[in-house]
Protein backbone atom coordinates (compact mmCIF):
# COMPACT_ATOMS: atom_id res chain seq x y z
CA UNK A 1 0.00 0.00 0.00
CA UNK A 2 1.44 3.34 -1.12
CA UNK A 3 -0.42 6.22 0.58
CA UNK A 4 -0.05 8.62 -2.34
CA UNK A 5 -1.65 6.09 -4.69
CA UNK A 6 -4.68 5.73 -2.39
CA UNK A 7 -5.10 9.52 -2.27
CA UNK A 8 -4.74 9.84 -6.05
CA UNK A 9 -7.36 7.17 -6.74
CA UNK A 10 -9.90 8.88 -4.52
CA UNK A 11 -9.01 12.28 -5.98
CA UNK A 12 -9.90 10.92 -9.42
CA UNK A 13 -13.12 9.37 -8.17
CA UNK A 14 -11.95 5.80 -8.59
CA UNK A 15 -12.88 2.95 -6.26
CA UNK A 16 -10.29 1.78 -3.76
CA UNK A 17 -9.98 -1.92 -3.03
CA UNK A 18 -11.37 -2.51 0.51
CA UNK A 19 -8.22 -4.33 1.61
CA UNK A 20 -6.04 -1.46 0.44
CA UNK A 21 -8.29 1.06 2.15
CA UNK A 22 -8.15 -0.89 5.43
CA UNK A 23 -4.35 -0.97 5.22
CA UNK A 24 -4.31 2.80 4.62
CA UNK A 25 -6.50 3.47 7.67
CA UNK A 26 -4.59 1.11 9.96
CA UNK A 27 -1.39 2.68 8.67
CA UNK A 28 -2.63 6.04 9.91
CA UNK A 29 -3.13 4.62 13.41
CA UNK A 30 0.31 3.01 13.29
CA UNK A 31 2.07 6.17 12.08
CA UNK A 32 2.88 4.85 8.62
CA UNK A 33 0.42 7.25 6.97
CA UNK A 34 1.18 10.86 7.89
CA UNK A 35 -1.41 13.39 9.07
CA UNK A 36 -0.97 15.49 5.92
CA UNK A 37 -1.66 12.41 3.81
CA UNK A 38 -4.80 11.54 5.75
CA UNK A 39 -5.92 15.18 5.51
CA UNK A 40 -5.61 15.02 1.73
CA UNK A 41 -7.57 11.76 1.66
CA UNK A 42 -10.37 13.20 3.81
CA UNK A 43 -10.69 16.19 1.49
CA UNK A 44 -10.87 13.86 -1.51
CA UNK A 45 -13.67 11.94 0.22
CA UNK A 46 -15.51 15.20 0.89
CA UNK A 47 -15.65 15.88 -2.85
CA UNK A 48 -15.73 12.35 -4.29
CA UNK A 49 -17.58 10.36 -1.63
CA UNK A 50 -17.23 6.65 -0.85
CA UNK A 51 -18.94 3.79 -2.64
CA UNK A 52 -20.75 1.16 -0.51
CA UNK A 53 -17.77 -1.23 -0.41
CA UNK A 54 -15.42 1.57 0.63
CA UNK A 55 -17.83 2.80 3.30
CA UNK A 56 -18.14 -0.74 4.69
CA UNK A 57 -14.35 -0.98 4.86
CA UNK A 58 -14.11 2.32 6.76
CA UNK A 59 -16.85 1.37 9.26
CA UNK A 60 -15.47 -2.12 9.89
CA UNK A 61 -11.92 -0.80 10.32
CA UNK A 62 -13.11 1.83 12.80
CA UNK A 63 -14.99 -0.77 14.84
CA UNK A 64 -12.11 -3.24 14.68
CA UNK A 65 -9.56 -0.64 15.78
CA UNK A 66 -10.72 -0.93 19.40
CA UNK A 67 -12.79 -2.81 21.93
CA UNK A 68 -16.44 -3.73 21.55
CA UNK A 69 -18.95 -4.30 24.32
CA UNK A 70 -20.39 -7.74 25.01
CA UNK A 71 -23.86 -7.20 26.45
CA UNK A 72 -25.37 -10.48 25.31
CA UNK A 73 -25.95 -11.63 28.91
CA UNK A 74 -28.53 -8.86 29.44
CA UNK A 75 -31.97 -10.39 29.08
CA UNK A 76 -33.86 -7.39 27.65
CA UNK A 77 -33.35 -5.51 24.36
CA UNK A 78 -30.36 -3.17 24.21
CA UNK A 79 -31.34 0.01 22.39
CA UNK A 80 -29.54 3.33 22.05
CA UNK A 81 -30.49 6.62 20.45
CA UNK A 82 -28.21 9.09 18.70
CA UNK A 83 -28.98 12.68 17.76
CA UNK A 84 -27.06 14.62 15.15
CA UNK A 85 -27.37 17.60 17.48
CA UNK A 86 -28.92 21.02 17.56
CA UNK A 87 -29.71 24.01 19.74
CA UNK A 88 -31.56 23.18 22.94
CA UNK A 89 -31.41 19.43 22.32
CA UNK A 90 -31.50 18.02 25.84
CA UNK A 91 -33.53 14.96 24.85
CA UNK A 92 -30.99 12.27 25.80
CA UNK A 93 -30.98 13.25 29.48
CA UNK A 94 -34.68 12.52 29.80
CA UNK A 95 -34.85 9.76 27.20
CA UNK A 96 -32.31 7.31 28.66
CA UNK A 97 -34.02 6.84 32.06
CA UNK A 98 -37.46 6.89 30.43
CA UNK A 99 -36.57 4.15 27.94
CA UNK A 100 -35.02 2.12 30.77
CA UNK A 101 -38.24 2.52 32.75
CA UNK A 102 -40.10 1.12 29.73
CA UNK A 103 -38.04 -2.08 29.88
CA UNK A 104 -34.99 -1.45 27.72
CA UNK A 105 -31.28 -1.46 28.46
CA UNK A 106 -29.87 1.84 27.19
CA UNK A 107 -26.05 1.85 26.84
CA UNK A 108 -25.60 5.49 25.80
CA UNK A 109 -22.20 6.77 24.70
CA UNK A 110 -22.45 10.48 24.01
CA UNK A 111 -20.29 13.38 22.91
CA UNK A 112 -19.36 16.92 23.85
CA UNK A 113 -20.56 20.06 22.17
CA UNK A 114 -18.55 21.57 19.35
CA UNK A 115 -19.58 24.83 17.70
CA UNK A 116 -23.17 26.03 18.06
CA UNK A 117 -24.52 22.60 18.98
CA UNK A 118 -24.43 21.49 22.63
CA UNK A 119 -23.28 18.08 23.84
CA UNK A 120 -24.93 15.58 26.18
CA UNK A 121 -21.78 15.07 28.26
CA UNK A 122 -21.54 18.81 28.97
CA UNK A 123 -25.14 18.82 30.17
CA UNK A 124 -24.63 15.78 32.41
CA UNK A 125 -21.53 17.35 33.94
CA UNK A 126 -23.62 20.33 35.05
CA UNK A 127 -24.82 17.88 37.74
CA UNK A 128 -22.26 18.11 40.59
CA UNK A 129 -20.14 14.97 40.81
CA UNK A 130 -21.66 13.19 37.81
CA UNK A 131 -18.97 11.06 36.16
CA UNK A 132 -19.08 10.53 32.41
CA UNK A 133 -15.63 8.89 32.35
CA UNK A 134 -16.55 5.44 33.70
CA UNK A 135 -14.40 2.58 32.47
CA UNK A 136 -16.17 -0.16 30.52
CA UNK A 137 -16.41 -2.48 33.53
CA UNK A 138 -18.18 0.14 35.66
CA UNK A 139 -20.32 1.18 32.68
CA UNK A 140 -21.48 -2.42 32.29
CA UNK A 141 -22.27 -2.65 36.03
CA UNK A 142 -24.34 0.56 36.06
CA UNK A 143 -26.17 -0.52 32.92
CA UNK A 144 -27.07 -3.88 34.43
CA UNK A 145 -28.24 -2.34 37.70
CA UNK A 146 -30.06 0.80 36.55
CA UNK A 147 -31.05 -0.15 33.02
CA UNK A 148 -29.16 2.76 31.50
CA UNK A 149 -25.72 4.33 31.70
CA UNK A 150 -24.37 7.48 30.04
CA UNK A 151 -20.69 8.02 29.32
CA UNK A 152 -18.35 9.52 26.77
CA UNK A 153 -16.52 7.57 24.12
CA UNK A 154 -13.73 5.76 25.92
CA UNK A 155 -10.19 5.42 24.61
CA UNK A 156 -10.90 1.74 23.99
CA UNK A 157 -13.86 2.28 21.63
CA UNK A 158 -13.11 3.03 17.95
CA UNK A 159 -9.79 4.86 18.44
CA UNK A 160 -9.49 5.28 14.67
CA UNK A 161 -12.71 7.27 14.66
CA UNK A 162 -11.42 9.47 17.49
CA UNK A 163 -8.25 10.27 15.54
CA UNK A 164 -10.14 10.97 12.33
CA UNK A 165 -12.78 13.07 14.10
CA UNK A 166 -10.12 15.32 15.59
CA UNK A 167 -8.47 15.70 12.18
CA UNK A 168 -11.75 16.37 10.38
CA UNK A 169 -12.59 19.13 12.85
CA UNK A 170 -9.53 21.16 11.83
CA UNK A 171 -9.33 20.37 8.10
CA UNK A 172 -12.73 21.51 6.83
CA UNK A 173 -13.90 17.95 6.17
CA UNK A 174 -16.60 17.56 8.84
CA UNK A 175 -19.54 17.81 6.35
CA UNK A 176 -18.59 14.67 4.37
CA UNK A 177 -21.68 12.45 4.75
CA UNK A 178 -19.79 9.13 4.41
CA UNK A 179 -17.40 10.21 7.18
CA UNK A 180 -20.22 11.46 9.42
CA UNK A 181 -22.05 8.17 8.94
CA UNK A 182 -18.99 6.03 9.63
CA UNK A 183 -18.08 8.07 12.71
CA UNK A 184 -21.52 7.81 14.30
CA UNK A 185 -22.20 4.20 13.39
CA UNK A 186 -18.79 2.79 14.32
CA UNK A 187 -19.28 3.93 17.92
CA UNK A 188 -22.88 2.75 18.10
CA UNK A 189 -22.17 -0.65 16.55
CA UNK A 190 -19.39 -1.20 19.10
CA UNK A 191 -22.09 -1.10 21.83
CA UNK A 192 -23.50 -4.56 20.96
CA UNK A 193 -27.00 -3.19 20.37
CA UNK A 194 -30.24 -4.94 19.54
CA UNK A 195 -31.55 -1.79 17.86
CA UNK A 196 -30.64 1.85 17.26
CA UNK A 197 -32.86 4.90 16.80
CA UNK A 198 -31.40 7.98 15.10
CA UNK A 199 -32.73 11.52 15.55
CA UNK A 200 -31.51 13.44 12.50
CA UNK A 201 -32.06 17.16 12.92
CA UNK A 202 -32.96 19.37 9.95
CA UNK A 203 -33.29 23.14 9.78
CA UNK A 204 -31.09 26.19 10.25
CA UNK A 205 -29.86 25.09 13.70
CA UNK A 206 -28.94 21.60 12.55
CA UNK A 207 -25.58 20.21 11.56
CA UNK A 208 -27.08 19.54 8.10
CA UNK A 209 -29.72 22.26 7.53
CA UNK A 210 -30.83 20.91 4.13
CA UNK A 211 -33.56 18.25 4.18
CA UNK A 212 -32.11 16.39 1.19
CA UNK A 213 -28.69 15.99 2.80
CA UNK A 214 -30.27 15.06 6.13
CA UNK A 215 -32.26 12.31 4.40
CA UNK A 216 -29.11 11.07 2.66
CA UNK A 217 -27.31 10.88 6.01
CA UNK A 218 -30.26 9.06 7.60
CA UNK A 219 -30.52 6.51 4.77
CA UNK A 220 -26.77 5.88 4.86
CA UNK A 221 -26.71 5.25 8.61
CA UNK A 222 -29.80 3.02 8.49
CA UNK A 223 -28.16 0.94 5.74
CA UNK A 224 -24.93 0.58 7.75
CA UNK A 225 -26.75 -0.61 10.87
CA UNK A 226 -29.15 -2.91 9.04
CA UNK A 227 -26.32 -4.60 7.15
CA UNK A 228 -24.71 -5.50 10.49
CA UNK A 229 -27.80 -7.03 12.03
CA UNK A 230 -28.84 -4.05 14.17
CA UNK A 231 -32.43 -2.90 13.67
CA UNK A 232 -31.88 0.73 12.77
CA UNK A 233 -34.37 3.49 12.02
CA UNK A 234 -34.12 7.26 11.80
CA UNK A 235 -36.48 10.16 12.30
CA UNK A 236 -36.07 13.65 10.85
CA UNK A 237 -36.96 16.22 13.52
CA UNK A 238 -37.20 19.99 13.42
CA UNK A 239 -34.29 22.28 14.20
CA UNK A 240 -35.58 25.44 12.52
CA UNK A 241 -36.19 26.77 16.04
CA UNK A 242 -34.66 25.87 19.41
CA UNK A 243 -35.99 22.74 21.06
CA UNK A 244 -37.73 23.80 24.26
CA UNK A 245 -36.96 27.12 25.90
CA UNK A 246 -33.56 26.47 27.54
CA UNK A 247 -30.34 26.93 25.56
CA UNK A 248 -27.07 26.37 27.45
CA UNK A 249 -25.85 23.32 29.33
CA UNK A 250 -26.98 23.87 32.92
CA UNK A 251 -30.30 25.41 31.91
CA UNK A 252 -30.96 22.52 29.54
CA UNK A 253 -30.22 20.01 32.29
CA UNK A 254 -32.85 21.70 34.46
CA UNK A 255 -35.35 21.55 31.60
CA UNK A 256 -34.66 17.84 30.99
CA UNK A 257 -35.31 17.15 34.67
CA UNK A 258 -38.55 19.14 34.42
CA UNK A 259 -39.57 16.87 31.54
CA UNK A 260 -38.86 13.79 33.66
CA UNK A 261 -41.09 15.30 36.35
CA UNK A 262 -43.99 15.50 33.88
CA UNK A 263 -43.57 19.21 33.17
CA UNK A 264 -41.44 21.39 30.89
CA UNK A 265 -42.04 22.58 27.32
CA UNK A 266 -44.50 20.64 25.18
CA UNK A 267 -42.11 20.08 22.27
CA UNK A 268 -39.40 18.56 24.48
CA UNK A 269 -41.92 16.22 26.08
CA UNK A 270 -43.43 15.26 22.72
CA UNK A 271 -40.06 14.38 21.17
CA UNK A 272 -38.86 12.48 24.26
CA UNK A 273 -42.09 10.47 24.35
CA UNK A 274 -41.98 9.79 20.61
CA UNK A 275 -38.38 8.61 20.59
CA UNK A 276 -38.91 6.45 23.68
CA UNK A 277 -41.83 4.73 21.95
CA UNK A 278 -39.76 4.28 18.81
CA UNK A 279 -36.92 2.71 20.82
CA UNK A 280 -39.27 0.22 22.47
CA UNK A 281 -40.79 -0.73 19.12
CA UNK A 282 -37.36 -1.04 17.48
CA UNK A 283 -36.38 -3.32 20.36
CA UNK A 284 -39.00 -5.81 19.22
CA UNK A 285 -42.29 -4.72 20.83
CA UNK A 286 -45.10 -5.02 18.25
CA UNK A 287 -47.37 -2.58 20.12
CA UNK A 288 -48.45 0.48 18.11
CA UNK A 289 -46.44 3.67 18.45
CA UNK A 290 -49.54 5.47 19.72
CA UNK A 291 -49.93 3.03 22.61
CA UNK A 292 -46.20 3.08 23.38
CA UNK A 293 -46.29 6.88 23.47
CA UNK A 294 -49.13 6.66 25.99
CA UNK A 295 -47.05 4.35 28.19
CA UNK A 296 -44.07 6.68 27.94
CA UNK A 297 -46.19 9.69 28.91
CA UNK A 298 -47.50 7.78 31.93
CA UNK A 299 -43.94 7.01 33.09
CA UNK A 300 -43.18 10.74 33.01
CA UNK A 301 -46.37 11.73 34.80
CA UNK A 302 -46.28 9.11 37.57
CA UNK A 303 -42.69 9.89 38.60
CA UNK A 304 -41.22 6.47 37.76
CA UNK A 305 -38.84 7.79 35.08
CA UNK A 306 -37.70 10.55 37.44
CA UNK A 307 -36.94 8.02 40.17
CA UNK A 308 -34.85 6.01 37.73
CA UNK A 309 -32.91 9.16 36.90
CA UNK A 310 -32.21 9.63 40.62
CA UNK A 311 -30.73 6.13 40.75
CA UNK A 312 -28.64 6.79 37.63
CA UNK A 313 -27.22 10.06 38.97
CA UNK A 314 -26.27 8.41 42.26
CA UNK A 315 -24.73 5.38 40.50
CA UNK A 316 -22.53 7.67 38.40
CA UNK A 317 -21.30 9.74 41.33
CA UNK A 318 -23.65 12.71 41.13
CA UNK A 319 -25.80 14.35 43.78
CA UNK A 320 -29.22 12.67 43.45
CA UNK A 321 -30.93 15.60 45.19
CA UNK A 322 -30.42 17.56 41.97
CA UNK A 323 -33.03 15.42 40.22
CA UNK A 324 -35.91 16.63 42.38
CA UNK A 325 -34.30 19.95 43.32
CA UNK A 326 -32.80 21.17 40.02
CA UNK A 327 -32.36 24.67 41.44
CA UNK A 328 -29.23 23.21 43.09
CA UNK A 329 -27.53 23.34 39.67
CA UNK A 330 -25.17 26.32 39.55
CA UNK A 331 -26.70 29.51 38.14
CA UNK A 332 -24.98 32.34 36.32
CA UNK A 333 -24.36 35.45 38.45
CA UNK A 334 -25.86 37.84 35.89
CA UNK A 335 -29.47 37.49 34.69
CA UNK A 336 -31.49 39.95 32.61
CA UNK A 337 -34.53 39.98 30.34
CA UNK A 338 -34.33 41.17 26.73
CA UNK A 339 -37.56 42.92 25.72
CA UNK A 340 -39.23 43.42 22.36
CA UNK A 341 -38.38 46.79 20.84
CA UNK A 342 -41.60 46.86 18.83
CA UNK A 343 -45.03 45.26 18.60
CA UNK A 344 -45.88 42.58 16.08
CA UNK A 345 -45.71 38.85 15.45
CA UNK A 346 -42.66 36.68 16.11
CA UNK A 347 -41.96 35.04 12.76
CA UNK A 348 -38.61 33.45 13.59
CA UNK A 349 -36.46 32.37 16.51
CA UNK A 350 -33.20 31.53 14.76
CA UNK A 351 -31.49 28.70 16.68
CA UNK A 352 -28.05 29.16 15.16
CA UNK A 353 -27.83 32.75 16.44
CA UNK A 354 -28.57 31.58 19.99
CA UNK A 355 -26.15 28.65 19.76
CA UNK A 356 -23.37 30.90 18.49
CA UNK A 357 -24.09 33.40 21.28
CA UNK A 358 -23.74 30.68 23.93
CA UNK A 359 -20.33 29.82 22.49
CA UNK A 360 -19.31 33.50 22.54
CA UNK A 361 -20.45 33.77 26.17
CA UNK A 362 -18.18 30.87 27.16
CA UNK A 363 -20.82 28.12 27.23
CA UNK A 364 -19.55 26.25 24.17
CA UNK A 365 -16.28 25.43 22.46
CA UNK A 366 -14.72 26.10 19.09
CA UNK A 367 -11.84 23.67 19.69
CA UNK A 368 -11.92 20.21 21.20
CA UNK A 369 -10.78 20.16 24.83
CA UNK A 370 -11.74 23.74 25.69
CA UNK A 371 -13.29 24.34 29.11
CA UNK A 372 -16.82 25.74 29.14
CA UNK A 373 -19.07 27.56 31.60
CA UNK A 374 -22.25 25.45 32.04
CA UNK A 375 -24.11 28.30 33.75
CA UNK A 376 -24.53 30.60 30.76
CA UNK A 377 -27.31 30.57 28.19
CA UNK A 378 -30.90 31.56 27.56
CA UNK A 379 -34.48 30.86 28.46
CA UNK A 380 -36.40 31.74 25.31
CA UNK A 381 -39.84 33.09 26.20
CA UNK A 382 -41.44 33.37 22.74
CA UNK A 383 -42.15 31.01 19.86
CA UNK A 384 -42.86 31.66 16.17
CA UNK A 385 -46.46 32.83 15.84
CA UNK A 386 -46.59 34.63 19.19
CA UNK A 387 -47.95 38.19 19.13
CA UNK A 388 -45.91 40.57 21.30
CA UNK A 389 -46.13 44.18 22.36
CA UNK A 390 -43.16 46.51 22.68
CA UNK A 391 -41.63 45.86 26.09
CA UNK A 392 -42.76 42.24 26.30
CA UNK A 393 -40.03 39.78 27.38
CA UNK A 394 -38.38 37.80 24.57
CA UNK A 395 -35.73 35.86 26.50
CA UNK A 396 -33.84 35.63 29.76
CA UNK A 397 -30.07 35.92 29.40
CA UNK A 398 -27.85 34.10 31.93
CA UNK A 399 -24.26 35.38 31.79
CA UNK A 400 -21.02 35.23 33.76
CA UNK A 401 -20.33 38.97 33.53
CA UNK A 402 -21.37 42.21 31.85
CA UNK A 403 -19.47 41.37 28.68
CA UNK A 404 -21.26 38.06 28.39
CA UNK A 405 -24.58 39.78 29.04
CA UNK A 406 -23.97 42.14 26.11
CA UNK A 407 -23.14 39.21 23.84
CA UNK A 408 -26.24 37.36 25.00
CA UNK A 409 -28.54 40.32 24.44
CA UNK A 410 -27.12 40.76 20.94
CA UNK A 411 -27.74 37.06 20.30
CA UNK A 412 -31.41 37.40 21.25
CA UNK A 413 -31.81 40.45 18.99
CA UNK A 414 -30.25 38.51 16.12
CA UNK A 415 -32.38 35.43 16.73
CA UNK A 416 -35.87 36.84 17.25
CA UNK A 417 -37.47 38.46 14.21
CA UNK A 418 -40.69 40.42 14.70
CA UNK A 419 -42.79 41.84 11.86
CA UNK A 420 -45.73 44.20 12.04
CA UNK A 421 -47.27 43.15 8.72
CA UNK A 422 -48.93 39.77 8.30
CA UNK A 423 -46.39 37.22 7.10
CA UNK A 424 -46.89 33.47 6.71
CA UNK A 425 -45.00 31.43 9.29
CA UNK A 426 -43.58 28.23 7.87
CA UNK A 427 -42.44 25.91 10.64
CA UNK A 428 -41.35 22.32 10.20
CA UNK A 429 -43.40 19.65 11.97
CA UNK A 430 -41.62 18.38 15.07
CA UNK A 431 -41.12 14.99 13.37
CA UNK A 432 -41.42 14.88 9.58
CA UNK A 433 -39.95 11.64 8.18
CA UNK A 434 -39.30 8.06 9.25
CA UNK A 435 -36.43 6.23 7.55
CA UNK A 436 -36.15 2.45 7.77
CA UNK A 437 -34.58 -0.29 5.70
CA UNK A 438 -37.86 -0.34 3.74
CA UNK A 439 -37.58 3.31 2.69
CA UNK A 440 -38.65 6.83 3.63
CA UNK A 441 -42.11 7.59 5.01
CA UNK A 442 -43.56 11.06 5.50
CA UNK A 443 -45.03 11.24 9.00
CA UNK A 444 -48.67 12.23 9.29
CA UNK A 445 -50.02 13.69 12.52
CA UNK A 446 -52.07 11.41 14.72
* Cα angle 43, 44, 45; round to 5: 90
Instruction: Give the whole-angstrom CA distance, residue 118 versus residue 364.
Output: 7
Phi (first) and psi of residue 169, to 5 degrees = -70, -20
278 is catalytic: no
433 is catalytic: no
Cβ(38)–Cβ(28) below 8 Å? yes
How far is CA 73 from its chain centroid?
28
Collapse the DSSP code of 110 into the 3-class scheme (helix H, G, I; strand E, B; otherwise coil) and give the result: strand
Q: Catalytic one among 187, 231, 269, 308?
A: 187
Tell me the pairing of strands 195-202 and 106-110.
unpaired
Q: Catalytic one among 9, 81, 168, 241?
A: 168
Q: Catalytic one among 9, 78, 81, 82?
A: 82
* Cα angle 231, 236, 146; round to 5: 55
Instruction: Give the whole-angstrom CA distance, residue 397 versus residue 401.
Output: 11
Q: Catalytic one among 65, 117, 181, 183?
A: 183
Cβ(112)–Cβ(132) below 8 Å? no
187 is catalytic: yes
DSSP for 6-41, please give it: HHHHHHTT----HHHHHHHHHHHHHTSS-HHHHHHH
Q: By C-alpha distance, which of 433, 102, 76, 435 is closest to 292?
A: 102
9 is catalytic: no
Q: Catalytic one among 56, 60, 161, 373?
A: 161
Exposure of 367 by Cβ count < 10 A (0-12 exposed, 13-18 middle, 19+ buried)? exposed
Instruction: Give the whole-angstrom CA distance, residue 21 versus residue 7.
Output: 10
80 is catalytic: no
* Cα angle 222, 227, 232; round to 5: 35
Instruction: Give the whole-angstrom CA distance, residue 212 versus residue 440.
Output: 12
Active site residues: 82, 161, 168, 183, 187
Amino acid sequence: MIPAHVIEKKREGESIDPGTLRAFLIGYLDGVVEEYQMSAFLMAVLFRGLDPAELDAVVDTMIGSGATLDLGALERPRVDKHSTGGVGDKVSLALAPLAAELGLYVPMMSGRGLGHSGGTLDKLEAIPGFRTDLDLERFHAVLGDIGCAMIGQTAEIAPLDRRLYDLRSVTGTVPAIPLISASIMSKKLAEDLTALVLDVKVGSGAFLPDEGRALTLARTMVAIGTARGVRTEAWLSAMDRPLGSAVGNGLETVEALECLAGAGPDDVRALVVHLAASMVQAGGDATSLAELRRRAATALDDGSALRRMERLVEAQGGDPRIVTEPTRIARAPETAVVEADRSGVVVQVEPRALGDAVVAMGGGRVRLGEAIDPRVGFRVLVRPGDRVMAGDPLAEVHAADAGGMALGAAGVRAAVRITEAAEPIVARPLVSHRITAAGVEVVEGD
